[in-house]
A and B are shown apart, each in its own frame.
Chain A
Amino acid sequence: MKNICLYFQVHQPYRLATYRFFDIGDHDRYFDDHANRFIMQQVAEKCYLPANDVLLSLIDRYGDDFKVAFSISGMALEQFKAYAPKVIESFQKLASTGAIEFLAETWAHSLASLKSKKEFEAQVSLHKQAIWELFGQKTVTFRNTELIYSNDIAKMVFDQGYKTMLTEGAKHILGWRSPNKLYASAKVPGLRLLLKNFRLSDDIAFRFSNRDWNEWPLTAEKFVSWFQQAAPGDEVINLFMDYETFGEHQWKETGIFDFLEAFPALAIEQAGMRFKTPGMLAEELKPETELDVPYPISWADEERDLTAWLGNELQDEAFEKLYQLEKDVYHTGDEKLLRTWRLLQTSDHFYYMCTKWFSDGDVHKYFNPYNSPYDAFIHYMNVLSDFTIRVKIPSPAR
């Protein structure tokens, strides 16, 4: 085993304010600026800034042997600018080392790929532009919201000019095959696929501090030794996870930052491995075979499907009603309405309406600001009702 691909997702939604039905038609202050600012500043201090420092020092020590990929949603970038400008500077500093690849995604961290090609493309372009402006990089690799992937999405992504894409190494897609190789899309073989090694990724992201886990505590030595257990012929371990893992989901006190520093050092120095970006790997490696994915997969939950965001009555009604407005929103030509419509597309809103966590998933509960999916739905629908009124008013009156 020679290669490791580290990719971190950075995202913060615009959370909704408590918006009651009697606010409908009265005002459009949909978002909880206070909470959004507070959370952003807190996560910046607890996670983004210290984690960036660790990466910077690793880049310093290991030069070309240590590379990292980031995908930062458009709304995270916006909120950095507004609430925690130091984080932008810190990422720019990382970018200037040349060791970082920024990936493309939908600007609003949306599910547009499942519903509207036009909107999907518009958001990918927006995000591409934002990355160019802030970090001077032209994106070459794409990652879709929550690693959602299917044949149809592959086609759209390829049409947008991307030759590489990340997704989940879902068991039901891979079967006996290894996630530790480069694959290609069956629909558009020109599109290379890197698949998340979910076991090793989740060892860090979900299990690191879990004392009930029989491998706890996870040391760098132990973790790196697992890399060596990969099958002969395996080429890359893809460790994909939320960046908030460091300091936010796994607290500093668990030793997660020490781990972030220690395991790359060990992998490079003792195991002779190299950390590479998705762009580099797609150039270097040959695809093993083509993968056919007729139904969308994602990196969420046991099912690795879309049911965290879509599928129950609440999610489906909200999602349908939101995208029914597409034509009208574009028709208004109103930039502010278009932007708001996009903020309402963020996948988090639908995640909050998920009823799966009734039976499983502490993970869902952890990320959910609402007491129940029903509360999330009511808030969202109140906002959407007001938004719908505003979109349907003829423009001179607006």
Chain B
Amino acid sequence: MKVLMFGWEFPPHISGGLGTACYGLTKAMLKADMDILFVVPRLYGDEPAGSMQLISASGVEVDPGDEVFQSEGGKISLFEIDSTLLPYTTEEEYLDLVKQLETVDQVSKIKWDSRTYSFSGGYGKNLMEEVKRYAIVASNIAKAHDFDIIHAHDWLTYLAGIEARKISGKPLVVHMHATEFDRSGENMNPSVFAIEKTGMQAADKVVAVSHLTRDTVIKKHDIDPEKVITVHNGVEPFENKSLVEVKKHFPEKIVTFLGRITYQKGPEYFIEAAYKVLQRDDNVRFVMAGSGDMLPRMIRRVAELGMGARFHFTGFLRGPDVDRMYGMSDAYVMPSVSEPFGISPLEAMRSNVPVIISRQSGVSEVLKHALKVDYWDIDGMADAIYGTLNYPGLMNMFKKHGKKEVEGIKWDQAAYKLKQIYQNMLHV
């Protein structure tokens, strides 16, 4: 079985987690005896393709007159990229992105010459332009190769998937890693939302990374539930990094929030829960690590509650500091309002830190050894924090099972399920 797959990025050149997810998935698919032609906007030559065929969309010859999207009418207009367009963005990646945005002018200078187009492959200001060009190139790639099925990852590649389907007549699977609703709440970018919807409508099957995401596309994008199948993400086996032993210079326990301080991540619920815990337990400090547009408001709220002496903001943390932070933590809280999957609790767990996660996250669907609360249930969240810090049975239980559980969440399971989906579609 040969799959023509459209992605937007591939390791090591990734700025979001989408590339990491595609890498993990495709590696497992190869193991499961599927052949993959993986298309990305551009290649750098150092991608670890293995037995997979990687295709760069840059340099594929097209007829300049072949601008399919022009003919489809101006429904999709150009818009300015904003950082929230990425799935799986971590704090670090966010900052990289900001940097990238500062150099965005360079990107837009790359010109479409007569026959080939050199994609930036990033998330620059002319992203929508690139998305459309990618689709044009996609139809040429589809013409030139043999394959059984088409698979497109996230909205950026949906138009490419649709074009490839038109040309080849092969069935299309679109993969929802994060929806515009998850990224922006009710303030969705209408153009992105429209592409998501168009892609899912045109597709023969939609794969969602969690039941939560499946619900979102059914309710928000109005997609036929029959068509949408959940395939939970896996996690790449973590390198055998030795756990960071950190010496704390104070006796109190530490409860940590680590992530972008934005609406989607629910930082304000963490603060309100912290306040409740501090009323009863003076053997604890709270840490909010990260940056984001809600940070100033969060700092004001902590001051307002008069708990600044016990609630600390670290700002943005980089690689080794993230590990140190986990090393110091006695509990990790992810109070996300909407999280298609959510990898950070798994990182905490492999550092032996017990996690409290919101039920509004895809990862809560696959984790057993985690405390789960609704993100708005501040009392429940506070109770879970207090219990984790004060009843040793919980900590012991999490330490015993957490790490093992994370190691069991594999991409192989996702690849297996995907293969079944393909087989059903192809009636083989």
Task: Tell me the A residues contacting B by CB distance below 8 Å.
Answer: 20-22, 24, 312-314, 316-318, 355, 358, 371-372, 374-375, 377-378, 381-382, 385
A382 CA / B391 CA spacing, docked (Å) = 9
B398 to chain A, nearest CB (A): 9
The 4 A-B pairs at the shortest CB distance, nearest first, are namely A317-B393, A378-B387, A21-B386, A313-B396
Among the interface residues B276, B371, B387, which one has the most CB atoms of the partner chain A within 10 A?
Answer: B387
Chain A residue with Cβ nearest B389:
A21
CA distance A313 to B395 in the complex (A): 9
Name the CB-closest residue of B to A314.
B393
B392 at the interface (CB under 8 A from A): yes
Residue of A312, A355, A371, A377 touching B391 (CB-CB under 8 A): A377
Nearest Cβ distance between residue B81 and chain A, in whole angstroms? 40
Q: Is there contact, CB below 8 Å, between A382 and B396?
A: no
What's the nearest-Cβ distance from chain A to residue B352, in Å? Answer: 14
In the complex, how many angstroms separate the beta carbon of B425 from the nearest chain A beta carbon?
A: 28
In the complex, residue of chain B having the shortest beta-carbon distance to the beta carbon of A384: B391
A residues within 8 A CB of B392?
317
Residues of A contacting B396 in the complex (Cβ-Cβ under 8 angstroms): 313, 317
B393 touches A20 (CB 8 A): no
Task: Return the chain A residue nearest B392 by Cβ.
Answer: A317
Tell me whether B384 and A378 are in contact (CB under 8 A): yes
Q: Identify B372's interface contact among A20, A22, A314, A371, CB under 8 A.
A: A371
Q: Convert B261-287 into 0s and 1s, putting 1 for each residue whose CB lies closer than 8 angstroms to a CB of A.
A: 000000000000000110111000000
A160 vs B411: C-alpha distance in the bound complex, in angstroms? 59
Tell me the smallest distance from the CB of A353 to a CB of chain B, in Å: 9
A22 in contact with B382 (CB, 8 Å): yes
**For residues 365 through 396 of chain B, which have their beta carbon under 8 Å from a beta carbon of chain A?**
368, 370-372, 379, 382-384, 386-387, 390-394, 396
Q: Is B32 an interface residue (CB 8 A)?
A: no
Q: Report the interface size for chain B: residues with CB under 8 A from the other chain.
A: 24
Most buried by A among B370, B390, B393, B400: B393
For this complex, 28 residue pairs linking A to B, each with C-beta atoms less than 8 Å apart, are: A20-B379, A20-B382, A21-B277, A21-B386, A22-B279, A22-B280, A312-B397, A313-B393, A314-B393, A316-B393, A317-B391, A355-B368, A355-B397, A355-B401, A372-B372, A374-B384, A374-B387, A374-B397, A375-B371, A377-B393, A378-B383, A378-B384, A378-B387, A378-B394, A381-B390, A381-B391, A381-B393, A382-B383
Residues on B facing A (Cβ under 8 Å) = 276-277, 279-281, 368, 370-372, 379, 382-384, 386-387, 390-394, 396-397, 400-401
Is the beta-carbon distance between B393 and A21 smaller than 8 angstroms?
A: no
CA distance A199 to B400 in the complex (A): 35
Q: How far is the CA of A317 from the CA of B383 in the complex (A)?
A: 18
Docked Cα-Cα span, A374 to B371, in Å, equals: 7
Least CB separation from B396: chain A residue: A313
Q: How far is the CA of A378 from the CA of B401 in the complex (A)?
A: 18
User: Nearest residue in B to A374 (C-beta to C-beta)?
Assistant: B371
Nearest chain A CB to B403's CB is how many angstroms away?
Answer: 15
CB within 8 Å: A-B pair count: 63
Taken together as a complex, chains A and B put the C-alpha atoms of A378 and B387 apart, in Å, by 6
Given contacts A20-B382, A313-B393, contact A381 B368 (CB under 8 A): no
Q: How far is the CB of B382 from chain A (nearest CB, A)?
A: 7
Smallest beta-carbon distance A315→chain B, Å: 8
Chain B residues with CB below 8 A from A374, complex form: 370-371, 384, 387, 394, 397
Q: Assess whether B383 is in contact with A314, with CB atoms less than 8 Å apart.
A: no
For A21, the chain B residues whose CB sits under 8 A away are 277, 280-281, 382-383, 386-387, 390
Shortest CB-to-CB span from A178 to chain B, Å, is 39
What chain A residues lie within 8 Å of B372 (beta carbons)? 371-372
B400 nearest in chain A by CB position: A313
Q: Quick one: which of A20, A314, A385 has the most chain B CB within 10 A?
A: A20
User: B357 to chain A: closest CB distance in Å?
Assistant: 12
A377 CB contacts on chain B under 8 angstroms? 387, 391, 393-394
The complex places the Cα of A188 from the Cα of B382 at a distance, in Å, of 52
List A contacts of B397 (CB < 8 A).
312-314, 355, 374
Residue of chain B at shortest CB distance from A379: B383
Shortest distance between the CB of B269 and any CB in chain A (Å): 16
